[in-house]
Amino acid sequence: MLNTRSFSQILEEFSDAGVTSSAPFEYESHCEPAGLAELTVLVNLRATRAAHPSVYGKRKAQPSAVRPAHRFEAPEQEAFELLQHYARLACGAGAEPLLNSNFNGAELKRAYRQAVKQAHPDRGGSSESFLRVRRSYQILLALLTKVS
């Protein structure tokens, strides 16, 4: 059931209760109009939610849509395998692969960062392996932009 009190009735209740403004200047009613407007909205929202609990209840989790696997050509397949290999080395032998065949942009970026950590010359990799990982990332990123 919606709140049937008018704004002036709510204002009178607050004035009678002696509620003062938190603002540095005084209003005629000694109450903040913005605060009272927000209060009115909250009171009506609470009443609406109480009247319709099924609509405003907890949302059921929607099953996530399964993304189809990407179709790789030869250079893209090599780039995918190389990036997956270095990312797996960085995470450890027992870790799940960071990059699946149905990856999105965020997963590709995460796998690339792990692979770069492993292949970077300052971390024991060679400059050649670092450049190969970087080129693989660029190839797969181009695949993602081509798909979308």
What one-character-per-residue DSSP string does 109-129 give?
HHHHHHHHHHH-GGGT--HHH
136 CA to centre of own chain: 27
pLDDT at site 51 = 67
3-class SS of residue 128:
helix
And the tokens for 101? 């065949």
pLDDT per residue over 29-47, tens digit each? Answer: 455 666 667 767 767 766 6
Cα angle 69-76-122, degrees, rounded to a multiple of 5:
115
Please, what is the average pLDDT of the chain?
A: 76
DSSP annotation of 67 reads P
Q: How high is the pLDDT of residue 89?
A: 83
- Residue 27 has a pLDDT of 45
Residue 10: CB atoms within 10 A of its CB come to 17
Long-range contacts of range 73-78, CB-CB < 8 Å, 24 or more positions apart?
Answer: 75/139, 76/139, 76/140, 76/143, 78/136
pTM here is 0.54
Give per-residue pLDDT as tens, 123-145: 888 999 999 999 999 999 998 88
Burial class (CB in 10 A: 0-12, 13-18, 19+), 26: exposed
Q: Which residues of 64-88 are buried (b: 16+ CB within 10 A; e: fewer)?
A: eeeeeebebeeebeebbebbbbbbb
pLDDT in tens, the chain (148 residues): 566 777 777 767 766 665 555 554 444 545 566 666 776 776 776 667 666 666 555 556 666 677 788 888 899 999 999 988 888 887 776 667 778 888 889 999 999 999 998 899 998 889 999 999 999 999 999 988 887 6
